Structure 1
Amino acid sequence: MSVDSMRAHVADSWHLSAAAGVDAEAAEAPITLDAGDLRDHRSAHPLARVFPLLDDVLGQAARECGAIMAVSDAAGQLLWVCGTPSTLRRAESIGFVEGSNWDERMAGTNAPGMALRLGQTVLVRGSEHFRRSVQPWSCAATPILDPTSSSLLGVLDVTGGDDIAVPQTTAMVRAAARMAEAELARDLLTGRPEAPRSGPGLQVGVELLGRHEALLTVSPDGRSGTTLRLTPRHSEIVLLLGTAPHGLSGDELAVLLYEDDGASSTLRAELNRLRHLLGDELLVSRPYRLAAAVAGDWLAVEARLAAGDLRGALRAYRGPVLPRSTAPGVVRLREQLHHSVRGGLLACREPDLMASWTRSAWGADDYEMWLAQLDVVAATSPVRALVEGQVARLDRELG
C-alpha cells in the first residue's frame, strides 16, 4: 500500500508497530499462552460462556466462506480460532493460532489489535497489515464488553481473503458481538451461579477523559442503565462529587468550582437543576454527595497507575480531564492525572509508549517527551527520522 493512500488510523498503527520494534519481515505472531496455560485461561474466561453461541452464529458462516472466526482476550491473546482444517493450516503460517498474541505492539497492524486499542469496530484490508506475511489476508474485528462495567472482555474477529473486506462483514461481526453481550447480560438478570449479581443500590459510570461534556450512566442494581450527556458545569460537579465519596459542603464545592467568591446562589441553582435531572435518591445533600457506587474512566487510569500497569493506564487515558474546564478543583485533578501518566512515560523509556503519547493531540507538542523518545529510539529504527523532524520543528517554534 502506498503511503499516499493509507488511512489515518492505519498509519498511526504502523507508526506504533514500528516504534514497538515489530519486524515487518517476521512470519509469525508470538505465542504468549502455551497449551496448558491456554486451556486454564480459556475455561476461566467470561467469554467461555458465550463462545458456543458465537461459534454457532458466526463461526459456521466463516467456515462456509473459507474464513476464520477468532476470539481474543483483552490482552490480544487468541483463545479460540475456528475454521476449516485447510484454512487453519494456512493461518498457521502467519501465527494466527490459539495462544498467539495479536496486540499491535507484538504482531503489527491488524484488526483484532486495533479494535483492542481503539475500542471500536475495525476493518483492515490486505496490504494495510504491517507484517508482509499477513498482507494476503483481510480481517474485521470488534470489541466485546462486559454488560455491567463496560470493561473490555476481548475481541471478536473474522479473518479471510479479499471478500472479507466489505461492510457486510463488519456489520455481521458487530451484530454477533452485541448478541454475545446480550447473552452475558441475560446471565446476570437470571441469576445463573456462574454470573454473580451486583450488590443492591445504584451504580454510576462517568466518562469525561478528553470530553468537554461528561457522559453519565445510571444503572439500578447492575442492570443496563440510562446514559445522560451533562452540561459542562454539571460535568464538573459530578467529577468533584465522584472524587469525594464522603461528600462536600456547599462552601467546599463552591471553592472547587468557582474562581471567585460569591457564587453560592449560582451553585444552589445548578445543584437544583442537576437534582431534577438525576433524582433525589442519587444526588443528596448535607453534605452533597452521590448516593451510588461511582466508576469513572479517570479512576480506572489512576488504579492502573497504582498497580504499576503503565501500558494499561495509557490505553485507558483518552485525553485530559474535562479539558476546557477552569474550575480550580477540576484543574488540579486534571493536572495531577496528566502529570502522573506523563511522568510514568518519561521514566519507563519505552519507545512505543512514548510514541502513543506524542501521536496524541495532547502530546504532539510535548518537547520533553519528543527528546526522551529520541534518546531511546534506535538509530536504525524507521521512526527515528520522524522523531528527529518533530524535535527540529519544536526547536524552530520554541526558538
Structure 2
Amino acid sequence: MDASTTPTTAASALRAAHERFVTGSGTLPGVRSLVADSWRRCAACGVRPDGSRLPPLRRTSGELAAYRRNHPLAAVLPLFRELLGAGAADDGHVFAVGDADGTLLWVEGDPVAVRRAERMNFVEGAVWSEAQAGTNAPGLVLELGQPVQIVAGEHYSSAVHDWSCAAAPVRDPASGRALGVVDLSGGGTIATPPALAAVRGAALAAEAELVRTRFAPRALLGPDGRVLSVSAAGGDCGCGIRLAALGRDGALLEVAGEVHRLSPRHSEIVVALALEGRGVPGDRLAVDLSEREVPASTLRAEMTRLRAVLGPDLLGSRPYGLMLPVRTDFGEVAALLTEGRVAEALELYSGPLLPRSEAPVVVEHRRALEQQMRGAVLGCGDVRLLRRWVNTAWGADDVMAWQALARGLPAGSPQRAAAAARARALDVAVAVPSQVRRHAAVLQPSHS
C-alpha cells in the first residue's frame, strides 16, 4: 500500500475484494498477484472462504510428540525460540514452526495470542497448507518456496482476517528441499518489513546451524539391507555415506564431506551394493549388473577403477561391499511411503532411479519404486499431489493420474475441464496405435 493509505483503509479494501471474489462478481484491483493466484487455487481445491471449516488436526498428541522428537527442525527449535520466541511473547504475537506438509509442530508466544489462535485451529498438529487452510503465509511459503507476508483480508478464509503473518522456508542444506517453515502471526505490526526480515533471518540462521551440525536426514540401510525408518536414521554421525541416484544417470556419493560424481557404470555398481546391504560375491554382482555374462576379469577391473575413486577403506572385496552405512535418496522415498508420508516422498522423488540404466537390479528397483510412488499419489486423491505428479516428465502422460485429477477438482472448474481433456487426449493417443496395429494385422496376407 502507498504512503497515503491507512492500514484501516487497506484492510477494508482487501475485505471488499475478497467479498467480490467469493461471490463471483468483479475483478480484483489492488490485490497482489500472488494472493489472487492463491485465491483461485483455493477455490479450485474447494476451500471454504467463510471460515466454516477450520484446518484439520493430522496427528494426535502422542503421535505428534514422537514425530517432533525426530524431526530435523527439532535441532534448531532452541534457536527459533531465541530469535523469535521472546519477541513474540513480548509483542503479543505467536511464532510457529511447521513441517514440509504444513503441519504445525510448535506454536508458542504470548498466552493471550496463543488462545486466540486456537479459535481458528492454529494449533500444534493442525495442517496449514494452502489446500487445507486457504491462503496463509506458511501454506503459501510451501507452495511457492519463498518468504511470504500475508496481511489481514489477503487470507482466503474469513476466520483469519483479523491476523497478519510472515513466514519463510527452512531448507535442508544438503539437498535444498524444504524441511519446513517458520512463521510469525499476530496483529498489524506483523504486516511490516521488519517482521518479514525477522523470519527470513531466523530461517537463514537455522540453515547455517544445520550445516554446522551436519544434520542432513537420509534413510539408513541397515546391515541386512533393509531400509530403516526415517526417524531411526536420525542425525548425521559423520561416519556414513550419502548416495543420491534419483533422476540422474551419474550418482553423487558423499563421504566425509567430499562429493564423488560417479560414472554411469560406477553408479550402477554402488547402487547395487547399497541395495544388497551386505557383501556381494562377484558372480552375484555380475548378474545384478547385466543380463549378459560378465567375465570375472572384467568385473575385477571395474571394481579396481572404482576403488581408485573411492579409496580402499570404503570399498571392500571378497565379498564386494561398502564398508560404511549408506544413506540414500531412494531409500528415504521408500521409507516415507512406508510411513504414509506421501507428500514428503513426492517432494524428495526427483525422478526414476538411474533412469537410463539397464542393470537388472536397478531396473527392478526403479520400477518397484516408481509403481509404489505412483500408487500412493493416485490412492491419496490429493489434488495438489496429483497436479505435481502430472507436471513431471514421468507423470505427464499418466492417463489415470489425469483422470483422478479431473475427478478431484470442483465441478465447473476450468482446471477440471482441462485435466479431463488431457486424459481423453492421452487415452486416444494410446488407443489409435493399437487400432492401427490390429488393422494392419487383418490386412496382412496369409502365408498358409
Structure 1 length as normaliser, TM-score? 0.72
Q: 1:356-367 residue pairs with structure 2 within 5 A?
A: 356-367=388-399
Give distance in 2, aligned partners of 1:130 and 1:382. Answer: 23
Give distance in 2, aligned partners of 1:392 and 1:104. Answer: 29
Comparing both chains, which one has the higher relative contact order based on Cα–Cα distances under 8 Å and sequence gaps of 6 or more? 1
Among candidates 16, 22, 26, match of residue 51 of structure 2: 26
Give the corresponding residue for 2:251. 214
Give the corresponding residue for 2:332. 300
Q: 1:1-399 residue pairs with structure 2 within 5 A?
A: 15=41, 21-26=46-51, 29-30=54-55, 32=57, 50-60=76-86, 69-73=95-99, 76-82=102-108, 95-108=121-134, 110-113=136-139, 122-126=146-150, 131=156, 133=158, 137=164, 139-143=166-170, 154-158=180-184, 160-161=190-191, 163=193, 171-181=200-210, 202-219=239-256, 225-258=257-290, 260-261=292-293, 267-380=299-412, 383-395=415-427, 397-398=429-430, 399=432
SS of corresponding position for 2:97: strand
Cα 1:384/1:87, change in 2 over 3 Å: same
Report if aligned partners of 1:137, 1:162 keep a CA contact under 8 Å in 2.
Answer: no
User: Deviations for 1:220-240, whole angstroms, at most 9, x for unmatched residues?
Assistant: xxxxx4443333332222111
Max Rg structure: 2
Residue type of the alignment partner of 1:123: P
Flag structure 2 segments of 5+ consecutive residues without an equivalent.
1-27, 216-232, 433-448
SS of corresponding position for 1:139: strand
Cα 1:394/1:180, change in 2 over 3 Å: same
Residue type of the alignment partner of 2:250: E
Give distance in 2, aligned partners of 1:197 and 1:298. Answer: 17
Give distance in 2, aligned partners of 1:350 and 1:55. Answer: 33
Cα 1:20/1:326, change in 2 over 3 Å: farther
SS of corresponding position for 1:71: strand
* Aligned-residue offset at 1:308: 4.7
Residue type of the alignment partner of 1:356: R
Greater mean deviation of Cα atoms: 205-214 or 276-285: 205-214
Give distance in 2, aligned partners of 1:185 and 1:68. Answer: 29
Flag structure 1 segments of 5+ consecutive residues without an equivalent.
187-195, 220-224
Report if aligned partners of 1:146, 1:152 keep a CA contact under 8 Å in 2.
Answer: no
SS of corresponding position for 2:411: coil
* Aligned-residue offset at 1:48: 5.8
Report if aligned partners of 1:211, 1:321 keep a CA contact under 8 Å in 2.
Answer: yes
Cα 1:19/1:213, change in 2 over 3 Å: farther
Give the corresponding residue for 1:193. none
Give distance in 1, aligned partners of 2:48 and 2:362. Answer: 43
Report if aligned partners of 1:140, 1:173 keep a CA contact under 8 Å in 2.
Answer: no
* Aligned-residue offset at 1:65: 8.9
SS of corresponding position for 1:122: coil
Residue type of the alignment partner of 1:342: R
Cα 1:271/1:387, change in 2 over 3 Å: same
Give distance in 2, aligned partners of 1:321 and 1:227. Answer: 19
Cα 1:23/1:304, change in 2 over 3 Å: same
* Aligned-residue offset at 1:6: 5.6
Greater mean deviation of Cα atoms: 309-318 or 290-299: 309-318
User: Deviations for 1:375-398, whole angstroms, at most 9, x for unmatched residues?
Assistant: 454535564223123224435655
Cα 1:63/1:201, change in 2 over 3 Å: closer
Residue type of the alignment partner of 2:80: L
Residue type of the alignment partner of 2:327: A
Give distance in 2, aligned partners of 1:110 and 1:48. Answer: 23
Give distance in 2, aligned partners of 1:346 and 1:35. Answer: 26
Cα 1:116/1:265, change in 2 over 3 Å: farther
Cα 1:299/1:200, change in 2 over 3 Å: closer
Cα 1:175/1:344, change in 2 over 3 Å: closer
Report if aligned partners of 2:38, 2:135 keep a CA contact under 8 Å in 1.
Answer: no
Cα 1:217/1:26, change in 2 over 3 Å: farther
* Aligned-residue offset at 1:317: 2.6
Cα 1:138/1:200, change in 2 over 3 Å: closer
Give distance in 2, aligned partners of 1:215 and 1:374. Answer: 38
Residue type of the alignment partner of 2:96: A
Cα 1:111/1:198, change in 2 over 3 Å: closer
